[in-house]
Amino acid sequence: MTKAEAFDKSMRLTMKGDFSLHDEIIHQDYESINSGISINKEMSKRILSEVGDFTIIGPMYTIYENEEFACIHQYSKIVNAEIFYSVMTAIKFKNGKVIYKQANWNELEEDPSEGQDWNWEDYE
């Protein structure tokens, strides 16, 4: 499993309340900036486990990855609503663990799964 794939899997598991992979791959000094607010490792676990109740994350595409950095793209959907996002995430690694993450969320006007070889049910 690549680092980007491990990050994606960790996020999905954490959204379901399973913190095992998150604790393994996230650096103790982790920081993420969300809406101008600094988020640490423990806060990240709480936030992800709460948004898991109302967010579906679609497929993950790796844009770029090396030992120090990864850039991934995902789509997300609000449960029981026709609200969709395109999410580009930059991830920095230190000593093989995620040390920093920054995500850029853009609301979409149309369902990104339309005409694709995947659907939201595959990711619920």
Per-residue pLDDT of 8-35, as tens digits, reads: 999 999 999 999 999 999 999 999 987 6
The domain in which residue 102 lies consists of 3-108
Position 63 pLDDT exceeds 90: yes
Q: Which residue has the tokens 């095992």?
A: 20
Q: Is residue 124 part of a domain?
A: no
Q: Where are the alpha helices (DSSP H) in the chain?
A: 3-15, 20-25, 41-51
Establish if 114 belongs to a structural domain: no
DSSP reduced 3-state for 90: strand
Domain presence at residue 118: no
Specify if 51 maps to a domain. Answer: yes
Question: Using one digit for the tens of pLDDT, what is the confidence trace for 106-123?
Answer: 999 999 999 999 999 999
- Going by DSSP bridges, is the β-strand pair 55-65/84-94 parallel, antiparallel, or unpaired? unpaired
3-class DSSP assignment, residue 17: coil
- The pTM of the full predicted model, rounded to 2 decimals, is 0.91
Q: What is the CATH number of the domain that holds 68?
A: 3.10.450.50
Sign of CA dihedral 60, 65, 67, 69: negative
For residue 86, tell me if it sits in a domain.
Answer: yes
100 lies in a domain?
Answer: yes
Degrees (nearest 5) of the Cα angle 48, 63, 23?
30
Please state the domain count of the chain: 1
| Residue-wise pLDDT tens digits, 78-90 | 999 999 999 999 9
Q: Look up residue 39 and give its amino acid.
A: I
pLDDT (0 to 100) of residue 5:
97
